[in-house]
Chain A
Amino acid sequence: MAAPRAAAAAASAKQVTRQNFAEAVRELRAHLQACDYVAVAVQKTGAPTGWRRALPVDTAETAYLKAKHAAESFQPLQIAVCPFRLRNSSTSTLVAYPYNFHLFPRDELQLGMPTYSFSCQSSYLSTMANDGFDFNICIYDGISYLSRVQESLARKKIFNPCLRQLLPSSNTSVADSVFMSRIKSRIVHWRKGYADPSKKYDDCLVGSLSRLILGGELYGSRPSMSIDVCSDRQVQLVLEAVNHISDDLVSLIVPDKAGAARAVRVIFTSSKEDKNLLLMDIQKLEDEQNFKFRGFREVIDLLSFSQKPIISYNCLNDLTMMHTKFIAPLPPNMHEFMCSLKMVFSNVVDISHMWRQIGPLRKAKNIQAALSYLQKQYFVPMEIELPQQDGTSSVIKNEQNVLRITKLFAKLSYLLKIGPECQLQSGEQFTAVEEYCNIFYPSCMVEESDGVDFAIESDTKKSVSTDNIVFLWGFREKSVNELKSYLIGLHQAFSHDFEVKLLDMTCSALIFRNSDTAMQLLKEISSEDPSLNSFFSEGLKGAGFEVYRKVCRLGLWDSDLAKAFDDVSSELGASTLSECRNSQIYWNSSLMLDLKEYLEC
């Protein structure tokens, strides 16, 4: 069992910057085709802290809003993509091709895109720095990108000369044919100057003079001439005319600022080879331009196109980030997000949802914990192949993550009998991976420690209605126990059974066993019932879940939770406090968001 570990430690992904991007994309395309799954891991400039993290009191909706905020403010610096192939026979074989893409949102087109600014979290950055993250490579040579929406915006602003296919000619009017013959004669006359070998000008003065007279100019080193056009119809006619004249002419459509064709540029090539060369040059130019328009997003498009299941950890955060950076701005609610995401990636597997299917693993806090537990408790014979070695021995954190996801998925799918093939030799049924798709766990904890600490995550998976929760603030820094004993003396409601969870330094959630108690308490708080005098005189304040939802929806992320509550509840007033409280279920301790619930389809 030690062998794969060692292999993984020595393994290294292909490091991709803007220098070797084109080549890497070519390879990735091939690997994607040959693989069954793709593991993805994102290294960001920060993660939400304090109450901005997904908390046990969050509903799917508020968890999404938090993930949305994080996705919009932070920036991905590396995205590791690892297509892998898995064969489960007696021993499973894992063949993986990890790539690590370095990103930086450079404004390649000078349009203020992809992002004007982004947030960094200093503790996050310094941990990355200590882990050997090379920021210089990232910032100097990272690949930029535009999201699909940004690309279409940019395409409306920047236009480049391009080739256009000649459409089959429709019926031409008299005016058309007059126009065409006029153009034709102009081009023929101009072309004669170059094509006729007897008239080769050796003298450069004569050459430039003839250019002046004939209305020609240069395209690179080749002679060319511009024909002004004022409609698409005319473009078509010019193209047709050129087509009739000779094979050695190449025409480029030159757009104006608004993108409409302004002119057709006819370029003369001296031979068949020269023409191919020119076409290749034009293609190269177009590729460069496309790189500016798409950049790294080409990889996302490849992943999307391949339709392979995406395996990821911390899915809600990573995929909201990928959505906002590479697809489109995030929609205001979870449902729309899911619909939109499904159009791009139809199958996304949250690895932590998978390991929660194996009873004892339910408590695992992070990938390392899950992996080491599997290592100890289960025998999973596995061969790991990483055919793509490029010699460097240092392992970067992010690719380590993606390899861990890959390995863990391989082991879990062996244990859970998931596979691309439908039948085992023994006749046992494989479950389809789709069973596990699109169920996300918002991770409550940032993956800070690499420790394999299993420890205290309570096993009880109970659902509580949002009606049972009362948010409480205005206490001065107290621990949970202090707060609990302090509350009991203040009001009879607190003599009932309730749990206390600190959400940040300033605010806590009280979870009552009985929703009536909570409702009653909230009612009394909003009506400033005299029985709560001592509660108020201590400076305490309380509110129901609706206010919390409003805090999240308004995005008051900048302040601590108490201040946000103060701002919102004073505005809401007592009247709106109790209305529209539809009870929603949330998950205590292990949150699960079944995204299928968000899709009727």
Chain B
Amino acid sequence: MQGRLRRLLRAPPPRNLLCRVLSSSPTGCDGGGGGGGSGVAVKQVTRGNLAEALEELRVRVREAAFVGLDLEMSGVTSAPWRDTFELDRADVRYLKLRDSAERFAALQLGVCPFRWDPAKSAFVAHPHNFFIFPRKELTSDGSSHEFLCQTTSIDFLAKYQFDFNTCFCEGISYLSRAQEEEALQKLNLLHQGRTAASSTTSEKDVDMPLNSAADILFTKRMKMNFKEWRDVVVSKPMADSNLSGNIKCTLGQFQTVFFKMRPAIMLNGFSSHQLKLIQQVLRKNFRDLVYVCTFGEDDTSEKRVVYSDTDEDKILLMKDVQEDLLKNREARVKSAIGIRHVIDLLSLEKKLIVGHSCFLDIAQLYSKFVGPLPSSIKEFALSIHKIFPHIADTRHLMSANQVVQKLMMKKSKSLSSAFSLLCPLSAEKPSGLVPVRIEVEGDETMSSCFISGAKHEAGYDAYMTGCVFAQLCTYLDIKFEQLSSQDNLASNTKLQRHINSLSPSWNSGTVLDLSTGMERPDPGYMRRYPLAVHDNIVLIWGFLSKVKPKEIKDCICKVFGPGSVTSIFAIDSTAALVQFKKQESVNDFLDLKAVLERTDSAISIVHPLSTILEGGQTRAAKYETYRDICSSSESKYLFADQAEAVCTNSKNQLQENINDDPVSGVRQSILDGVGLTSVNKGDGTKSGSKNQDDADVTCQDILAILHDSRALSGRRV
């Protein structure tokens, strides 16, 4: 009660709503291309108007030539080191993207169908903005429904007046396909179990001891009341009960109602403990009174005591109730699908989906509305291809055309910059090409759910993406004039070459072909780093924070020779990837590091690598370990912490420990080879420290020894 009151008292329209309405200066929405950020009516869809919006959208999508899509998320990377880097291997990059898609929530979905109107020779756009919130709709659903927010992303959304209140209050929730299937399966199992149980005897025969006077008195009173009521019902069988279903007669304490054409009492206002006592009374004393619990419309449970005269009738009644329950639950599962209907609808219509830099968006959609993301990028590509057979990425398209490339040169490739460049107000014309006319159609009724679009609102971004796409098509020499009103642009031959090619990330330098799942290099991409050879890479972490990447490179070069390191890349302040020129250097480095750590002698102190090893927390491993660390569900802010957490948790030990044998061999031979006469050969550390003064070894020596010992241990095995 109080809650409802408070809800009513709640702050009236959110501030940003007002802001947006006010800022929608009458620039006119049908000026070819639309204004620079406002004046475009975007339909806002929340829980309240989803059903109606869906019906309308279905029609719009069916007519559309293509559909613009955009997603706003609660974050992008869960830790700085989870950013995608240019030198990431494809599988690592996918792991990073998958982590992002799984951890963060989708908060807004923008869908904007574009219909070609031959009469106006213009596109007609219908931007929709759906608020999403991963509310837990089904109680049976065990997942925790936790999501991550990246502080900067949330702050960014706030800067663009994102309405969090609407999102969290009125956002539409969803079930993915996998979740729906699971819920239905669970339901069926439950139903089977129930019917089986109820046919034998009542479910729980465990007696509750009545240990307080209040309980005993309450039980007695209830027994009397029920008896009284039952006697009345039995004594005057209401022959016309079927007809007078709504007649309520008050008998003593209870109001008689009818439930499935049987006389019944509503049990209102009892505590759960009292209800348990009532059940016990009924079970013990009344064979012909049945306790029935059903669910009303708004999820409130309704408890009744129903009179049923015979055992057969009782079974019939229970079966009836169970089936109702099943239907009710199924309906709830169906309604819990929520916003996924939009995705199902788009998938069903097989229209061309257009996004801007949309790989992450698509991965988010998959993880939220289809199911857990597959383990490899190939599987992901193939299964997304089944759902959306035609996807175009405007960012990729921009690099597909020379003219556009020239136009966009040295400009930001962000959506808004592309939009302002390619879709200017009708007055200007870029590079002589006639821009495609685009109109936005508001609702005839102009209801309150339309507000003027603004940058970084999913609905408006979807619209901008579509506009950019339409203009790009003209550069690709696609003639819309030949398009009939319900044609899917996906079948256009000139476009074929460019669709279903997505860049996994802006700095991947590759393009993923969704139809084959193969990743190929993007010829138009300008690399910042030399091409990575992942077998030559060593991951180092845990060094002191004062050590800079340059110093790491320098001191490795001191040992392995100048030019032995092709590049070094700092993951964050605690970790770096070092790429060697030669692959064998990787093992050499790892072995040398292990040796230096185990021999507690002057060698390790004066050795050039001591800069890196200082502090004793420095660890190193091959690139595979980097992948393992990225695949972990842990999320620590610093890479070194993450790596430690993963390594202590995971069963597979690290590189260092696997190499245990050769290392001990090396240690042995280091001592022998250097010519130290040790009293106690078995105890390497002891003898090493004894002869600190002699430890005048050059790096070349150590390396030579390393190679020898490697051969040696190889022979031993």
Chain A residues in the interface with B (C-beta under 8 A) = 45-46, 49-50, 75, 104-107, 112, 115-123, 125-126, 128-132, 134-136, 138-140, 393-395, 453, 455-456, 481, 505, 554-556, 558, 560, 567, 570-571
Contact = CB atoms under 8 A, between A and B. Distances in A.
A139 B154 CA distance: 8
A119 B146 contact: yes
Given A117-B151, A120-B149, A125-B168, A558 B6 contact: no
B28 interface: no
B529 to A, nearest CB: 23
B141 to A, nearest CB: 11
A50 to B, nearest CB: 7
A331 to B, nearest CB: 15
Nearest to A395: B6
Given A107-B155, A118-B148, 13 more contacts: A46-B146, A75-B149, A112-B80, A118-B149, A119-B147, A122-B136, A123-B135, A132-B11, A135-B164, A135-B165, A136-B15, A138-B164, A455-B271
Contacts of A128: 168
A391 B405 CA distance: 60
A105 B153 CA distance: 12
B79 A117 contact: yes
B412 interface: no
Contacts of B7: 130, 132
- Name, among B9, B78, B169, B651, the residue most crowded by chain A CB atoms within 10 Å (CB to CB): B169
Contacts of A117: 75, 78-79, 148-151, 635
Interface residues of B, number: 51
Given A106-B151, A106-B155, A130 B135 contact: no
B120 interface: no
Interface string B1-25: 0010011011100111000000000
Contacts of A112: 80
B10 A132 contact: yes
Contacts of A560: 142
B206 A481 contact: yes
Contacts, number: 122
Given A116-B80, A131-B3, A135-B164, A122 B154 contact: no
Interface in B379-409: none
B136 A136 contact: no
17 contacts: A49-B144, A106-B151, A116-B80, A117-B150, A119-B147, A121-B146, A122-B105, A122-B136, A130-B169, A134-B165, A136-B15, A139-B154, A139-B164, A140-B158, A394-B10, A453-B271, A554-B648
Closest 10 CB pairs of A and B: A135-B164, A129-B169, A129-B168, A122-B145, A132-B10, A117-B150, A122-B134, A132-B6, A139-B158, A558-B633
B204 to A, nearest CB: 7
A505 B135 CA distance: 20
Interface in B167-183: 167-169
Most buried by B among A106, A128, A132: A132
Nearest to A453: B271
Contact of B135 (A122, A140, A567): A122
B11 A116 contact: no
B637 interface: yes
B414 interface: no
A128 B633 CA distance: 28
B147 A120 contact: yes
Contact of B144 (A50, A106, A571): A50
B215 to A, nearest CB: 11
A394 B3 CA distance: 11
B168 A126 contact: yes
Given A135-B165, A136-B16, A121 B273 contact: no
Interface core residue of B146, B150, B163, B633 (most chain A CB under 10 Å): B146
B172 to A, nearest CB: 12
Contacts of B163: 136
Contacts of A50: 144
Contacts of B80: 112, 116
B691 interface: no
B145 A123 contact: yes
Contacts of B555: none
Given A116-B79, A554-B648, A556-B649, A122 B169 contact: no
Contacts of A119: 146-149
A50 B146 CA distance: 12
B133 to A, nearest CB: 7
A464 B136 CA distance: 36
A317 B169 CA distance: 26
B164 to A, nearest CB: 4
Contacts of B272: 453, 455
